[in-house]
Amino acid sequence: MRGAVISYADKVRSFSTNARLFLLSTALGSLQSGILQVVLALYVVALDHGRDFLGVMTGLGALVTGIVSLPAAAVARATGHRKALLVGTAIAASGALGISLSSARTWLLLFQGILGAGTAFIFVNTPPFLAENSSDTERTYLFSVNSTMLLAVAVVGNFLGGTLPNVFGLAVPGWASSSPAAFRAAMLVGVAFIAASALPLLSMREAQQQGGGAASEGPALAGKWSPGRVSGADCSGGSEGVGCRSARGARSGRHRLRLMGQFVTTSAIMSLGAGMMVPFLSVFLADKGASSSFIGAVFAGSMVMTMLGTVVAPALAERWGKVKTVALTQIASTPFLVAMALSGNLLLAVPAMLVRSALMNMSGPVDGSFSMEAVDARDRAVLSSLRGMSWNLAWAGGSVLGGIMIERSGYAAPFLVTAILYLASALLYVLFFSKLDSRHSGRSGQASQSPQRGQSGRRGPSGPSGSSDHTGHTGRAGYTGHAGAAPRGRRSEWVRSQ
């Protein structure tokens, strides 16, 4: 145990300056997200807008995020991930400020769309940024530390989101703690945090991609097929004829598209369910009689439990494999979601919510690292973009549908449908990726015995990690919990999402 702690600490100390600055930036952003997780839905309802409008509002943000995801990836290719993250932070801060100062439906929807556009730049560029600023042996730990830190800071944000309305309600004459003015003031505090998160990004240097040629081949392609078996071409003995190259490219292209499509499919199914449930959790508790401070405490407790789960997730992935870890923890969460759906009071709903949140979200970093290492380095931004786009489009539909269902019949129906969708997503994840996980684990073990290092002392970002405990995909993608925007393309409802 002591040796594992020392090894973990050594990996953390080896993080690059860019990685450390990014952790600071994303911590500030997570404070804002934690506040908004608690306050936004309460603010919208306090303005006398129905839960169906809340669903439309969060759905619109997700829709814009999905649409902007692909252009955001294109911008990153031209400018670099750091500059794209800066653009996203500036746009997101503008949207969050506008929401905080608006009350009319039209303006709320407009600024939610602006927020969604900024969110797209953030979550699309987070995974490749983390990948290119870490070596293979430390990448798992960077993703894990990032996700754990996000959760820890979000606990503070949740606490602030619950207590600030009470503070402003007591400090300002004529303001009640449940008034729109008190919620607005709390959200403005969050805006200050997200604006401050741009400062560390300004201090970074754009990372340079390392490796090329064969070194840039992702593990998902290595050893997957024999060129000599494609289109009858004889590509044995290192032959590089035109037929071999075209056959190799065609097969490689088909595999890359299929693999990305499988990641997109599982994320979209999960997101459809999450959209029907996650945006409404604060009003779910409020409708059962909870105060804003109590809701903040519950959300903070969820973050603490999820953080503890995230800490042990790398060890579970090392023992069980990444795919099995993701699927089993997600499946284990569904009975507690059913308990939430059928609960009649806070006494049952709150414990079920705490356990469900931890189980559902603890393996998000594992999936993130696995997805980034399963594809070529050149495909990482594209996969992140496609996954994010599909996640947010599905989230948009789910949140609109969930709001309508809640307004008409209560919370039980959408929560139960969410449980079914989570189970389907987990089963497909095993079906699609179990064999790939086995092959990747084997190659990772070999790679860890004889690492190839470049001049910088780091291995290229595309190779397999030195261990099988690959964690963390959306580091700052979790950051997409901004003001109710849908969380990102990783298999976690939030970092800021729950």
Torsional class of 217: left (φ above 0), alpha (ψ -120 to 50), beta (otherwise) = beta
Q: Please give the C-alpha separations between residue 66 and each of 34, 72, 95, 327, in angstroms, as whole numbers.
A: 22, 10, 16, 25
For residues 465 and 474, give the distance between their C-alpha atoms in angstroms, rounded to a whole number.
17
CB atoms < 10 A from the CB of 251, how many? 18
Amino acid 2: pLDDT: 65
CA separation, residue 116 to residues 217, 234, 334 (Å)? 33, 50, 28
User: Which pLDDT score is estimated for 485?
Assistant: 40
Q: What angle do CA 122, 300, 384 make, to 5 degrees?
A: 20
The pTM assigned to this predicted structure is 0.72
So what's the pLDDT on residue 439? Answer: 52
95 contact partners, CB below 8 Å, separation of at least 6: 111, 112, 113, 114, 115, 116, 117, 118, 482, 483
Q: Answer whether residue 419 shows pLDDT above 90.
A: yes
What average pLDDT score do residues 466-493 get? Answer: 38
User: Residues near 257 by Cβ (< 8 Å), separated by ≥ 6?
Assistant: none
Q: Where are the domains of the chain?
A: 20-204+252-444+460-484
Q: In the chain, what percentage of residues exceed pLDDT 70?
A: 76
> At which residue do the structure tokens 């919990």 appear?
481
Would you state the pLDDT for residue 440?
52
Q: Residues 140-156: pLDDT tens digits?
A: 778 778 877 877 888 89
Pick the CATH number of 20-204+252-444+460-484 from 3.40.50.620, 3.30.1490.20, 1.20.1250.20, 1.10.540.10: 1.20.1250.20
State percent of the chain over pLDDT 90: 42
How sure is the predictor about 493, in pLDDT bands with cuts at 50, 70 and 90? low
Residue 188 pLDDT exceeds 90: yes
- Number of helices (H), then strands (E), belonging to the chain: the values are 16, 0
Q: What is the pLDDT of residue 482?
A: 38
pLDDT for 189:
96
Instruction: Give mean pLDDT, residues 42-61.
Output: 93
Nearest to 304 by CA among 160, 162, 477, 151: 151
Handedness of CA 179, 185, 188, 192 (dihedral sign): negative
Which residues neighbour 148 within 8 Å (Cβ) at sequence distance 6 or greater?
Answer: 307, 310, 311
Q: What value does the mean pLDDT take over residues 462-482?
A: 33
Q: Mean pLDDT check: name the lowest of 15-24, 206-215, 254-263.
A: 206-215
Confidence (pLDDT) at 298: 93
Cα end-to-end span (Å), the chain:
30
At 231 the pLDDT is 37
What is the band of 238 on the pLDDT scale with cuts at 50, 70, 90? very low
